[in-house]
Structures are given as structure tokens and as C-alpha cells.
Structure 1
Amino acid sequence: MSSKCLNSDNFSPESVNDTAKETCLNWFFKIASIRELIPRFYVEAAILKCNKFLSKTGISECLPRLTSMIRGIGDPLVAVYARAYLCRVGMEVAPQLKESLNKNFFDFLLTFKQIHGDTVQNQLVVQCVEIPLYLTLYSPAIDWILQCIAYHAPDCCGEDALLLNSVMSAFRAEFIAARSMDFIGMIKECDESGFPKHLLFRSLGLNLALADPPENDRLQILNEAWKVITKLKNPQDYVNCAEVWVEYTCRHFTKREVNTVLADVIKHMTPDRAFEDAYPQEKFLPFLDMFQKESVRVEVCKCIMESFIKHQQESTKDPVILNALLHICKTMHDSVNALTLEDEKRMLAALINGFIKMVSFGRDFEQQLSFYVEARSMFCNLEPVLVQLIHSVNQLAMETRRVMKGNHSRKTAAFVRACVAFCFITIPSLSNIFTRLNLYLHSGQVALANQCLSQADAFFKAAVSLVPEVPKMISIDGKMRPSDAFLLEFLCNFFSTLLVVPDHPEQGVLFLVRGLLNVIQDYTWEDNSDDKVRIYTNVLHLLSAMTQEAFIYHVDKVDSNDTLYGGDSKFLAEINKLSETVVSQILDHLKTLGKEETLKRQSQLALYFFNTILAHGDLRNNRLNQLSVNLWNLAQKHGFADTKTMVKTLEYIKRRSKQPEMSHFSDLALRLPLQSRT
């Protein structure tokens, strides 16, 4: 028969057949034959529910008998846990029968004097167990018995210290909190020779951490509790009790009371108290310094920073808060060494970055920059923090530009140059080369936006000079990956910026573009990579955009080359020369792909280059027109052409030919045959 049926309210012994009843009765007879009391008790209690097979009143008759059996157990500690188990079983099989629960509790009260008898006391002496420690062993069992009694029971309380502690542990926190002063009165009346009072106050404090006492009683409760706590000499007892009441103080009182409590903690926990008069009023940092073990102190600091980042809603500039949190962050930073795991470094950096983002001095930008300078000196071993500081300083420069609406005064111009200088001297200290490249580019863009042209050139030159140092393989999430794709992405972003960067009057036409092309030419590319050609085609996009009379975008209050040269023929001639050089490099690469195993790559690149010429070239030029036809034929020469793409491309050319001034596209379309794949 299933347990579900046995628990059903409709179950009755009449529904059990005689064979099952006989078997069940046989179990109980066999259990009754067990001579030892404790095994007989636990086995019968374990199958107490099976009495439902025999009669409706079986359980109600057995519970009092089993309760009486426990009186025969001589050891009071063993007996109280037997009572706790019987209460557990009773609540499971017959929760409505409260008589046995009460009987177990009052039987314990009757036998409680055994604890102070010679037999128990002699055993404790032999086993070197002190009475306070021994009494705490009773708490779990008594707690459970009282929880069973308290379930749907009227409010009640005992005055013995041990029982009072169990009552405070068993009853709801709201019940205890509402009667806090009553419990304090009972605690004060308890005999401290057995169960220590500080444990009673700790239990009371745990309840007050979960439920609030009446507002008018809160200060008196704290004063009464702390009178007892502050007299404790044992550091372990003091900390165990104080930690509970520190939370209560933080919840209900101001910084003054919290400061007083922390001062008392420091006083108790500092071995040498000769210099306690030198403590400042703020006790927070000395409190942290009490954690002598570095790993523990760092964990405490991490918890504080996590809480600050989670709960701080607004930015802060409070000098007391900043000083304290800088000290905490410095403690975390200084714990980093050669053995620190990367995950741990990332976690610490994220916490410090979260703090940095929460600091704001409003319109006092100079004070904000000073804070970032101080932070850089304090957190130099965590690269993510340095990266965050660079971004924050760049953001500060752009915020200055926004406030001044792009029209810098002498003072703000000097300030943004200071921001730019901060970034320029900080970036080289980073080890990740792509982080440096992107920060050089980003910081150069910020300098350009703030009309710091020479500083912007310095950033871009630094980026160009760094490209040759890019390794072939880089580590990403612990795995080595080719760097070509990342370099291609960076260079494409760089080209977009170079369009609006004006030439330096002393450096010649397109000096940054020329320098970058030289670096790309000398860079050693992977043999199976076509990224060099893709970069060159993006260079052609840039050079094509530079031939426009007016660029499609500009930086406010910065004159780009379209303004400086105004479509000058010499400038356009220089662009054409560079374009011819780049085209020559692309064609040379296509020739190297003439082997059988690289013909597919050759076809793809030829079509890619054809589309570049189609989008950016002047196809009225006969040489360029012929080059595009040759590339089209090369793309499908060896049967590797992407036919779908080529069909769509040809349709696009025919549509464009119908537009005004695009009639030359009609002639081009006639010269572009489509070969079917065989």
C-alpha cells in the first residue's frame, strides 16, 4: 500500500486485509522483544505510522507509551534527543496530538536537574568538557521540541537561560522583536552560572536583525545589550556577540552610534591599547586594519566594495568616503602578485573600476583630473583600471568641450591638453598591443575634437609605429588566435579617422597615410592570408574619399584636407600616385595566387577588387575601365566564380547605366560576359 494512501484522511484499518494486519502486528511483537531500550525505542518510533494498519487509536495510544519509555534513558543528553526525534515523528504522523509534545517538554523540565547531578558532572570532568559548552549541545534538540510546541500554539516563554535561549531561537523573529524589552528583563534575571548571558543577547540580536523592535525601545535595547557585550574579555565571545549587534546599530542609528560601536570593537580587539587615544574620530579604517591576515582583509574589502557599487545610487565626492574607499581599493590592488589568478585580477579591477565610475566632482574638472592622476599612481598594476582611467579622462575632455560648446578658452584649452597628456603617457604602460592601438586611436580622436592637432598627430604616429609590433598570434580567453582579423578591423577604423585629419604643414602631403602604407608593406603577413589585399582595398576607399571636393563628414572647428587643399591639382596628383602604387600591390598579390590550390582565393579577391573599383573608381578612365574588365574575367576564368553575386552585380551595373551621366556603364556591361559553370 502506498504512502500516499496511508496519509489519506479517508484511510481506515477496515480497508486493510487480515494478512497485512498480521504481518504488521508481527513487526511490533518482534520490536517488543528487543532487550535494549534505545534500539527498541528508535525502531518502534520509526514505524509508528504503521499503527494505522491496526486501529484508529493506535498512534494516540503509542505516543504516550513511547514518551514514558524515554524516562528510562539515564543520560539526559541522549534522552533529550530521543524526545526531539519522537516529537518529529509525532508531528509527521499526528500533528493534532499536542499532548505528547507537551509531555515530552515537561518531562525534560523534570529531568533537567540531572544535568547538575554528580553523574553528569563527573563525566564532564573526565571528558574535560566545560558546562557552558555542554549546555549548548542541548539547544538543537530543545529548539526543535519548542518549534513543534510553538506551531499554532499560544505565546509562552520560559525564564531559565537555556530554555530562554531555545525560546528565542524557536519562535518567530517578529514575536521576539515586539517583546524585546520583556526578553531583556528575563535575560537580566537569568542565572549566569550555567548558560552565558552573552549567548542570550546574541540570540536576541539575531532576531532583531530579521525584525524591527518598537521604535521607542531601540536605543534602550542597544544600551542594555552593549552593557553586557562590552564587559566580555574573551575576544571570540566578544566578536561572536558584537557582529550581530553591529548590524542592528547600522540599521537603526546614525553614523555617530556606528562610530562608537566600531571604536569599542577596536578597543577590545587591539592587543596593545596604549595608543587608543590617538585614534581619529572615524573608526572605519582602523577597524579594517584589525584583520591581520591579508587574504581575510582583502575579502572584507571586496565585500565592502561590492556593497558600495550595488547600493550607491548617486556619484560622490565626499572626501571621507573617497579616502576610505581609496584605502580599501589600494588594499585590494596591493594583494596582486605574480601568483594571482587572472580571474581574481579581473574581479578586483572590476570593483575598482566600479568605484572610479562613481566619483564625480561635478563641474570641478581639475579636481576630477587630479583624482584620476592619484588613482593611476595607486593602481598601476591592474591594466583594466588604467584602461578605465584613460577612458574616463577622455570623457572628461569631451565633457569640457561640451560645456564650452567647442569654443575653448585659454584655461580650458590648457586643461584638455593636460587630459591628452595624461592619456599619452599612460597608454605605453599597457601590455596588450591591441588595447594600446585602440586607445591611441580613441585618444587621438578626442584630441582632434578638442583642436589639439599636434597632440592628435602624436597619437596617430604612435599607432602607426606600433603596427609592426603586432604579433602573428594573440591569446584570447587562454587560447592562441591569429591576429590578422583584429589588425584589419583596427586599420579600417583608423582609415575612417585619417580622412578628416589635416596634413601637418611641415610633414608633406598625406604623411600619415604614407607612413601607414609603408608599415603595411613591410609587415609580414601569413602566406594563406588575403588580409593585406583587403587592407589595400580599404586604403583605396580612403584615397577615393579624399578626392572629393567636400568630405562626407568633418570634425567641428577642424579644417580637413578638403578645406586646406580645395581640390588642388597637385594634391589630387599625389592621391593618384598613391592609388596606382596600391593597385600595383594588389595586382602583384593576385598574380601570386595563380597556383591551382589558390585559384579560388584569386577568384574571390578579383571580384572583391572589381566591386571596389565599381564603387569608388572613375570608369570613364580607359585604363581603369580595362582593369575592371580584366578582373571580371579573372574572377570566372578557372570556374570558381560566385555566379549569383556576379549576376546581381551585372544587373546593378545595367540599372546604374540608365541614370544621368552614367551612360559609360552601358558600354562596361557589354564587355562583362557571364560564363556558365560547367
Structure 2
Amino acid sequence: MSAEWRCVRRNQDECRRYLDQFKVFDHPLKQSSITVLESKGTRAKALASLSESTSGASSTISLDPLSLALDGSDPLSAFAARQGSDPLSQMAAEFDGGSPVAKSGASASQKKSREVSCLLDMELIEPWGARRGAILNKYTTNEKLSIVTSFLNGGETIKSQTTMSEKVKYRLEQLDEFEEGTVRQMLDLSQQEYVVKIEQLNHELGQAWNTDQRVKALKIAIQCSKLLADTSVIQFYPSKFVLITDILENFGKLVYERLLVKGEYVRPGSKHPGPLPDNFTPDMVPESARETCQNWFYKIASIRELLPRLYVEMAILKSYRFLTANEFSTILMRLTRMIRGIGDPLVAVYARCYLCRVGMAITTDREYFKENLNDILDIYHTILNGGIRAEIAKHRITLNGYVSLFLPGLDWIMQGVTILSTDAQLDDILKRCREKKHPALLMQSIMQSFRSDFIALRAVHFVEVLSTISVEGFSRGQLLRMLGSILTHTAPPSEQRGAVLNAAWRVISSMGNVEEYIQCAEMWAQYTSQHFGLREVNALMGDILYHMTPNRSYERH
């Protein structure tokens, strides 16, 4: 049986390209790599010459399949590594230093003691590193920035005062100046250029340290701390705080590790010095390391200006471990009271935030958290006083934008206060915050920081508070939307759900701003659909239609 073949015409216009074409710049089989940046976010090229102790270093991970499959060790070597040493070596180790079980038990107990050595080890609060990126992305600016330094090239020379009345003051200020070069001011920097200059300062600090120029490294840390007194571009201040404190943390880490190296001691029963254990005590530290540590704090105490003296001491606060084991609470309270001398409320809040960040990594004490919150509440009225309002107008930012600058620092302090706090203590904080004039900022921070179950149990009270307080600096809809988000994830008691919805919707329904209304309705619609039936959902949707239909309001949303 034969088949007849015939050609079929193809309509090119109806043909479809099944594979999309796109331009590529690398060969698909080319070995690829990923550059991993540490939390400091500095560039790999700029920091390639630094040692691993410098926190800005970066690493590159190869993705070559052969390299991943053959990691450099043959199977027999890997098996031997897993099996450990031979029996004779194990017996010798047991004879010298006790059985492996005893050693592992000791290391486990040391790990357990480290787990409770500070508040951060309890893992009850989100680490600061998780917030860093969000702050840098949110608080940006298009205005021109300036930086004063003597360790970077370029900029205009800052000339000394020539009037007779300033000569004595200038002589005193020379004690804080820098011998390495003339202090220069770099003007008209974009935000990206400013970040690059800060990265260069971090690089200079690492290079100075690696070449044994300890005094120069200290002076760079002092100069960076002085930058935190500048609020000329106020909307960028939270991001500036993040960048500068990265450098200070790097400096504090370098000092601490240097003291560890100098702190070698002779273990009992041994003839050769060795490194200090992780849980060392001051009596183990040799006298030379103690003197070096004291010299660092003496140098910092001689800084004349309050703000750099505070920040640099806070940066190396962990090094007090070489001098004392039980005075951290006293030191933290002393620094807390010193911050009272800072006049600008925004600068003071972030100084307190940094103190609390450092304190959480060295002690389990929480009293300094409470003291810092008390001090913030005592000066809270200055945040929105007349002088600050004039400053806001000068910076051409909205009141809402100004108040939101406090949130990252205040949230961190508020979350620290809530650690291990009882419901009665949280109720007292809530009461004190509610009684303040214009407490919207405090209520926003409370809802951001307090436990969601605590808020859900008091949902009716929170709706009442948010419905009656003055919300200057915030919108009432913004606060009610946040409360709705919390109650969507953590439901209030069943007997309160109806009262909460009625009280909240009464306020939401009275909002004249359509955008504010619909943002609240979006969140509370989820709450209604989760905990109520069709009747309540239909009533809510009807109210939404009623608000959006007149004058075609939905077209302006």
C-alpha cells in the first residue's frame, strides 16, 4: 500500500516563536561566582588588603561544578577525618587532659554559660543586623552632604579663627586635632559619594591598625563619632548612624582582639602560655594586657567633646572584661546619665540606641534599658516643641517624616525593655506613654515592639487609646492599620472580637481621607473575614462601597 505525499503550505504570519530571544553578556558555560559581602557592606576591592579581622572584607564562592564535586580531599582522607585519631593518640590525650567525654562536657557547659552571658544570646530580640538594610533603604536623601576629615584627600581646608576672642578656644581645640594632615571639609557630596567616603574611612582605619598605627585608628574613630553630631541633612540621619556605628563596631572589635592576643597566660599545670579561654575572668589577664586596656580607656576619657567620648567608649565597652567582671551595670548606668548632656533629642535617642545595642552583647542586666526609656519619656515633650518645629521647616520635611526618624532607635530600646518583662510592667509602660502629649510616636513603637499576645488581650483598650489620643506626627489610620495587622495574626479573645471590630470601624468609617480609609479597611477586612460570618462581611463591604462611590472617589484612590 503506497502513501501519497503532498506539501502543505505554511502561513508564516500565523507562525509563533516558541522560544523567546534575549541578549546575554556571558557564555552559559563560563564559570560563575558570587561575591558575598559581610554585614558591613563594604566593597571587596577597597578592602582586599585588609586582614580577616577587618569586618569589611569579602569572599568569593566559586560555582564551578567540578570544584564543587571534588573539594580537594580524596574519599579515604575524608573517612579518616571523620573517624578521628587512632586509639593510641586518643589514649595519650586522655592521659594528658582527661577523657574526651569530660572535655566535651566541659565545652558544653562553657557553651551553656555563654548562651546566658548576655541578652543577645537569649535570642528574644531581632538582631540589629536584620534591621540594618531596611534602615539604609528607607532613610535616603537627594540633598548634598558634607564630611569633615583629615584622612581623605580632597575638600576645602578649614581655616582657624583669627579673632582674639577665639584664640584661647582654638588653642584648646588643637588638643583634639590630628597631626596626620589638615582637617578638610568635603562639600556637595551625593548620598552615594558620602557612603563611599565612609567606606574609605573604614578602610583607612583597618590599614592603620594593620600597620600598628593605633593612635591613628583611634583618631579616625573619634572623627567618625563627631559626624553623628551633624543633623544638617536630618532625613539621612538614621542611615548615617548605621554607617558610622559599623566603623565603631569594627574599631571595638580590633581593640578587643588585640587585648586577647596580649592576654596570653600560663594555664595551671602548663609551662607554656596560651590564649585566654572564652569565659576568662580578670584575674587570668596578665598585667601587661590590663595596662594596655586601661591606657585605651584613659585616652578616650581625655576626649573633650561629649559625643565622640561617649561613642568611642561605648565601642570598646566589651574590653572592660579585661579589668572587671561585675561592674558592667554600673558602667552602663554611668553612660546612660552622660547621654543626658546631649541637647538634640534625635541625636540623644540614637546614642541611647547604640548604648543598648552594645550593652545587650555584654550583660544580662536590663536596668539600663529601663533608665534609658525613662530618660526618653522625660524629654519627650522636646521632640515637638516650637524650636524643633522651626528646624523641621528649615529642613523642608513634613512633621510625619521628622517623627518617623525616631522609630528605628526607639523601637530597639522599646524591644529591649520588653525582654522578660511581666504584663504588669508592660501595662505600666503603656500607661505612662499614653499620658504623654502627642503620644502617637510612642504608641507606634509600642505596637511594633510589644508581644502580640499582650496587645491582643487588650485589643479593646488599644482601640480606645488610638481613637482618643492626639496623633500629631502620625495619621490615626496608620496606627489603626498596624493594630489591625497585629490582630489579624494574633486573634483577641472571642468575647472581645465583636467589640473590637465595632469600636475600630466606628473610627475608620468617620475618616474623610479616602486613601487613609481604604488602607485601614484593607487590613480590617482580613480581620473580619477571619473571625465573623457573611453578615458582618457584607456590612463591611457595603460601607466600603458607600465611601468609595460618592463623587467617584475610587478613581482618585
Considering Cα pairs closer than 8 Å and 6+ residues apart, tell me whether 1 or 2 has the greater RCO: 2
Category of TM-score, reference length = shorter chain: 0.3 to 0.5
**TM-score, structure 2 normalization:** 0.46
Which of structures 1 and 2 has the bigger CA Rg?
Answer: 1
With structure 1 as the length reference, what TM-score do the two structures score?
0.38
